[in-house]
Amino acid sequence: MFNEFARYEDDFKAWCQNGYPTDFPDTYRYIDFLSDPTNDQVPRKDTLWRHQWEAFLRVIYSYEVLGKQTIGEHGLLLNIVTGGGKTAVIAAIVAWLRISHGVQRFLLLCPNLIVRDRLDDDFDKGKVFKVRDLLPDWSNVRPVDFDLTTLGGGKSSGWPSLLGASIVLGNIHQFYQSNMAGKTNLSAMMNGPDFALFNDEAHNSPAEEYTATLQAIEKKVLLRIDTTATPDRADGKAPDSDMIYEYNVNDALADVLIATPVVYQPDIKTVELTYTDALTGVTKRVEEIDWEEVDRKGLTATQWVTDDKPMRQQMAIALKRLQEQEMRAKGRYQPILFVVAVCKKDAEKAANTLSKVFKVNTLLVTEDSPEEDRKKARELGRQQKTKTPYKAVVSVLMLREGWDVPEVGIILLLRKFTSKVYGQQVIGRGLRRVRGKGMSPDEPQICAVVDHPKLEHYWLWDIFNCKIRSSVTTEQMFDEVEDLPQPPPRQEISRPDFVIDVPKEIEGLIDNGEFEVTQIGVAQPVENWAEVLASLEYSRETVEITGVEIRSVISEELAGMKWKTIHSAPDLPKNGDIGVEVTDDTMREAIKSRVLEIAEELCVKAGYAAGFRGEVYSALMQHIRGKFLDGVSLGLADRRGLDYAWKMLDQVTAKVAAIPGLVGGIIEYANK
């Protein structure tokens, strides 16, 4: 995403050096209040961090000096890395707007309950204003003046509460016009005074109704501030606000503000494969092959982290990292292992394996978890002070943005990421430094990420600027003092006058001159798709990974110097044959979720929009019902049929994708 402020950097720096001249005297007084008494170019200690100060000043300059007609017509965007303290910036802007511009109302929008609860805790009774000392005595504004109403949090009571509150905090969906509650909330805001809008985690705004809501309230908004750590949205687009400040992972590492991510992967020698009849469960044969030969077997990426043996080995690697982190913690806090699964079935299996096989106290959080467990996840750092603290938490992408538990020191990936947004969000859960009593702000901290090479997350590690060194040490634990490199230098724009304006309508387009456009062939939709689909035949032989010999575990430091360390392979627990139960209902949900994913994948590969997945999903479910479930519905199928269908899904995907025009036929003719 293009930094719209880059062209104004020289003028901005001159404005700062000249003492922040402005037509609003209280703005100058407030900047002076936050400044270091000996140097007005840096923030006073215990108020804002340096990068928060830089973001705050750019908001003031954009709003008061440049104006909306120049920048920020639809809002200003602050791109600040996870752990960079976006909430403190929001609070400073709120205080400035109240003191200097007399703004009385503020709307804080967030994408989910986790983010909402975090913001509720920060702003309740003006907590963040007190902690960061953001309110000067001369302003006559006090923390209690920012009374908070949180929608859905038991702190609101309709129109009177919304109209009387200074800060209104809510999930964006609570202002959608598609439901009566949303209409009521939106009406209350639109019938009150003008307000400032803060759109936290702004990358979550690709939905049409999300955009429509922002557009509906725009005429009442005095200033809109978007905050995010990943501005490029999941749909490949960017928010409509103008980015004016960027503080990325490398910047935060240079300032020793976040933990340094280190990736650990197994170095595999041989693999044992077991061939089984998917319907009867009878083992046909066992084969041991070299690691270099596994690709020809057509194993899926997820098998390397979901089949029993490889999953347990990945967990053993992660738990070894947990032991190391506990040694570094020295009893000051309890490090937490965060396990990320792709579906509820895999999450339950992972949680049960950690609990029953490895004897680790584990918390499972899925969309079906009770509120009590979700609350435990949100307050996991506090839970560590109990006699039996959780050492691991397993989630299905439930705990992403807004879930801020600094004690997360190990992340185990049991899923493959294709979305840059989701991948960065998950890694971001481990970037927050542990702060508190006995913790030096300069103390090196790492986040250990356990990954598998077959998941092919190299693009994700490139985002963090992965480096590898050829020199190797053996049987050696990672030493955060000796092995952790010096932080990378910060990147600065030295000549902002060289910045070229890129028109928004062509941003991202690369034109190298005249070129020929080659017509891409699209397969003709198969009109008799139902017959073709029904004719597909499947082999009942399935392959499972039942043994993996690991030479060692390789760790690679990210965003720093070039180094690589090799550790010995971990031992598996002797009781590794304990079975892990998965309920029938969990299997049913897993099949439905996976078939929906397959439908979307097939649509995109066939050149259709993902929105057509509904038609493909229906056709595939009917096909699975006829081929693997003896014609009965998924809800009535017995466990034998459910297991059979689950094991055959990869074959279904491959065979349907291999027939040109089949997916197109389903989409074009299924409803005719």
Least Cα distance to 234 among 81, 2, 422, 507 occurs for 422
> Sign of the CA dihedral 283, 285, 286, 289?
negative
pLDDT bucket at 161, cuts 50 / 70 / 90: low
pLDDT at 295: 77
Residue 305 and residue 238 share a domain:
no
CATH number of 60's domain: 3.40.50.300
Residue 425 and residue 319 share a domain:
yes
pLDDT at 255: 81
pLDDT in tens, 190-247: 888 899 999 887 655 556 777 788 888 889 999 999 988 776 655 556 678 899 999 8
CA distance 431 to 260: 7
pLDDT in tens, 317-335: 999 999 989 888 888 888 9
3-state secondary structure of 421: helix
Token couple for 348? 């339950």
Range of the domain at 664: 583-669
Residue 606 and residue 469 share a domain:
no
What is the four-CA torsion angle of 209, 211, 213, 218, rounded to 10 degrees? -170
pLDDT at 159: 57
Asked if residues 409 and 336 have their Cβ atoms less than 8 Å apart, the reply is yes
**H helices of 379-454, where?**
380-383, 420-428
pLDDT bucket at 89, cuts 50 / 70 / 90: very high
Residue 455 and residue 364 share a domain:
yes
Please say if the pLDDT value at position 636 is more than 80. yes
DSSP state of 173: G
pLDDT at 211: 79
DSSP state of 490: P
Asked if residues 197 and 109 have their Cβ atoms less than 8 Å apart, the reply is yes
pLDDT at 189: 87
- Which range of 153-162, 502-511, 584-593, 618-627 scores highest in mean pLDDT? It is 618-627
pLDDT at 384: 59
pTM of the model: 0.74
Lowest mean pLDDT among 129-133, 287-291, 447-451, 460-464: 460-464
Residue 112 and residue 31 share a domain:
yes
Please say if the pLDDT value at position 152 is more than 90. no
Please say if the pLDDT value at position 12 is more than 90. yes
pLDDT bucket at 528, cuts 50 / 70 / 90: very high
Count of domains observed in the chain: 3
Residue 337 and residue 472 share a domain:
yes
Burial per residue of 619-646, b for 16 or more beta-carbon CB atoms within 10 angstroms, e otherwise: bbbebbbebbbeeeebeebeeebbbbbb
CA distances from 413 to 134, 198, 463 (A): 39, 32, 17
pLDDT in tens, 274-309: 888 888 888 888 888 888 888 777 788 888 888 888
Asked if residues 157 and 151 have their Cβ atoms less than 8 Å apart, the reply is no
Residue 201 and residue 155 share a domain:
yes
Residue 403 and residue 336 share a domain:
yes
pLDDT at 206: 52
Beta-bridge mates of residue 338: 393, 411
**In-domain check, residue 280:** no
Residues whose CB is less than 8 angstroms from the CB of residue 516 and which lie 6 or more positions away in sequence, other chains included? none
